[in-house]
């Protein structure tokens, strides 16, 4: 059964809201009391300079002088993630090498009441790893060990800095693979995948990260270490692991992950079909699904994307209005007949060309083109803004038509590349930030596209997350009551809002709620007021 990103996110939210409401009906959520932070460092006597000196000095003691970064040039490296429109250098960067070092750094942050932002490779596209001005970044790039491979039980234990593709490479000689495959799988980390509940092209058949994580070790915002899930496929009790996956670093820092492995399929075949337009390609998608076929992947690119890909990758895509990349895998006997049906359905929908990859080399080249679509946009536009929304498959054609109308209204080009099988759109808005108002127009168009997705019964995000970018759009999808429940869940894990603050949920209205190194008011320094 195919698992859609929209259904997964609604299912997880419904479960979390229901579980928390059950607990709230019995009284306050019962979790161990958090550790107290050092009130002395939050007093007028503790000037910002002194507090910063204390922070940096103790970071060096914990992770070593080479792994505590405070220089301006070093900090610029961490000022943004893949969404470069948002930038903010942190106070410092700590690069721990173990769960214990992460816990010690977090305990320090908790004592000084300093916010922290976890970071993997920084490939996220929603500003989820954007630093806080008064906080630090805790980078997990040194934690890159595969701790255990257990093929008998089809699982592997990894640190969060392990790259996605490295998991498959470690077990493929034994006939196994790790299914989630974001386009950035060569550079994105497992920790980041867990934070965003990443999917990828093959999530249509195999599901998202949440379907492949069995257990996780989590450092809470006060430095305590928790273990969620188990090595079993179905652990008893509330699904706190499910709450953690996709929480975008707002509940703590994941330092170990137990992943499911799958046997490599017996048979894999990849087809490329060319269509006059995205409308006719969309008709083929609908026909394939209606026929009862669940491809391993079904990806679509429009003409603008194809031209960019061909100018960069030379992957062999035809010059057409839209290209559909369909891959089937599984038992050979079953797949051959289904693959023939897919070919016939594509031709019946108006495909002008249907090509089957002759060998693994051609298949790899076709996928190289699809996975390189985002980066290829640099050849056709000085800047681009990646959006990420979800719509029901049946509404694809209407939403794509609406995007074309928005292009005309905003006078900006949009290149479309998306996971057609589950309706996860990735429109690429092309603009030039050097033009007056260019970035603002691109953002307005992106928000209007999200509006189209919501009007069609879709969601704000399929796999890129909410982060900072879509935080203010959350009220368009969730009621005040829903947001309050989500905030209660977050507070149960992180009552002081130190873990990745200012992300996912709209920012608190009161400035006093914002964590950071305390900066006394001039009235306090003059002895005219005191902090309560």
- Give me the chain's average pLDDT, please: 88
Query: Which segments of 372-518 does DSSP mark as H helices, in order?
Result: 373-376, 396-410, 438-455, 480-493
- Looking at residue 160, the DSSP 8-state letter turns out to be T
Which pLDDT score, from 0 to 100, does residue 234 have?
79
**Share of residues in the chain with pLDDT > 90 (%):** 80
- The radius of gyration computed from the CA coordinates of the chain, to the nearest angstrom, equals 24
Distance CA 23, CA 33 (A): 17
pLDDT at 3: 39
Residue that is written with structure tokens 């019962």 in the block: 30
Residues of the chain with CATH 3.30.465.10: 144-263
Whether the Cβ atoms of residue 266 and residue 331 lie closer than 8 Å to each other = yes
Contact indicator for 403, 396 with CB cutoff of 8 Å? no
Residue 445 token pair: 């168009």
Average confidence (pLDDT) over 259-266: 97
- Within 8 A by CB and 6+ apart from 95, the residues are 63, 67, 68, 69, 139, 141, 142
Q: How far apart are CA 258 and CA 178, in angstroms?
A: 12
Query: What's the pLDDT band for 31 if we cut at 50, 70, 90?
Result: very low
Q: What is the mean pLDDT of residues 73-93?
A: 95
Domain with CATH 3.40.462.10 in the chain: 267-455
144-263 maps to which CATH number?
Answer: 3.30.465.10
pLDDT at 276 over 60: yes
Find the distance separating the first CA and the last CA of the chain, reported in whole Å.
Answer: 56
CATH number assigned to the domain covering 267-455: 3.40.462.10
Query: pLDDT confidence of 45, banded at 50, 70, 90?
Result: very low
Residue count of the chain: 532
pTM of the model: 0.86
Q: Is the pLDDT of residue 76 over 70?
A: yes
| DSSP-based three-state secondary structure for 112 | helix
Token pair listed for 495: 């009552």
């Amino acid at each position: 059964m195919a698992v859609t990103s929209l259904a997964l996110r609604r299912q997880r939210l419904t479960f979390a809201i229901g579980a928390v409401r059950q607990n709230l009906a019995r009284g306050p959520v019962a979790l161990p009391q958090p550790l107290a932070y050092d009130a002395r460092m939050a007093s007028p006597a503790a000037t910002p300079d002194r507090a910063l000196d204390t922070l940096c000095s103790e970071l060096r003691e914990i992770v070593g002088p080479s792994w505590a970064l405070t220089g301006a040039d070093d900090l610029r490296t961490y000022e943004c993630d893949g969404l470069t429109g948002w930038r903010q250098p942190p106070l410092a960067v700590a690069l721990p090498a173990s769960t214990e070092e992460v816990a010690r750094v977090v305990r320090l942050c908790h004592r000084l009441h300093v916010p922290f932002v976890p970071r993997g490779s920084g490939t996220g596209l929603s500003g989820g790893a954007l630093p806080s001005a008064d906080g630090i970044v805790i980078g997990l790039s040194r934690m890159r060990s595969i701790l255990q491979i257990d093929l008998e039980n089809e699982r592997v234990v990894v640190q969060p800095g392990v790259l996605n593709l490295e998991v498959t490479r470690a077990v493929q000689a034994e006939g196994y693979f790790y299914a989630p495959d974001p386009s950035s799988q060569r550079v994105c980390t497992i920790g980041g995948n867990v934070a965003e509940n990443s999917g990828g092209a093959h999530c249509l058949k195999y599901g998202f990260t949440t379907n492949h994580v069995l257990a996780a070790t989590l450092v809470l915002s006060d430095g305590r270490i928790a273990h969620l899930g188990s090595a079993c496929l179905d652990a008893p009790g509330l699904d706190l692991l499910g709450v953690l996956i996709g929480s975008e670093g707002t509940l703590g820092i994941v330092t170990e992950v137990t992943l499911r492995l799958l046997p490599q399929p017996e048979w894999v075949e990849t087809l490329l079909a060319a269509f006059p337009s995205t409308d006719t390609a969309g008709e083929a998608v609908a026909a394939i699904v209606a026929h009862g076929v669940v491809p391993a992947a079904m990806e679509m690119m429009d003409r603008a994307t194809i031209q960019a890909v061909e100018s960069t990758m030379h992957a062999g895509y035809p010059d057409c209005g839209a290209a559909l990349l369909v891959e089937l895998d599984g038992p050979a006997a079953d797949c051959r007949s289904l693959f023939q049906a897919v070919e016939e359905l594509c031709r019946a929908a108006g495909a002008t060309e249907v090509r089957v990859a002759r060998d693994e080399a051609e298949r790899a080249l076709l996928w190289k083109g699809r996975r390189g679509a985002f980066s290829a946009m640099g050849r056709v536009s000085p800047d681009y803004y990646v959006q990420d929304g979800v719509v029901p498959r049946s509404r694809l054609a209407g939403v794509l038509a609406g995007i074309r109308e928005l292009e005309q209204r905003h006078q900006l080009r949009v290149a479309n590349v998306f996971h057609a099988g589950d309706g996860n759109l990735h429109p690429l808005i092309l603009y030039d930030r050097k033009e007056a108002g260019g970035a603002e127009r691109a953002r307005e168009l992106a928000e209007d596209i999200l509006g189209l997705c919501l009007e069609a019964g879709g969601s704000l995000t399929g796999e890129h997350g909410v982060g900072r970018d879509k935080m203010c759009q959350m009220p368009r999808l969730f009621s005040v009551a829903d947001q309050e429940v989500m905030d209660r869940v977050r507070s149960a894990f992180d009552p002081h809002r130190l873990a990745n603050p200012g992300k996912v949920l709209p920012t608190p209205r009161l400035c006093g709620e914002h964590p950071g190194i305390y900066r006394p008011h001039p009235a306090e320094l003059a002895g005219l007021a005191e902090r309560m």
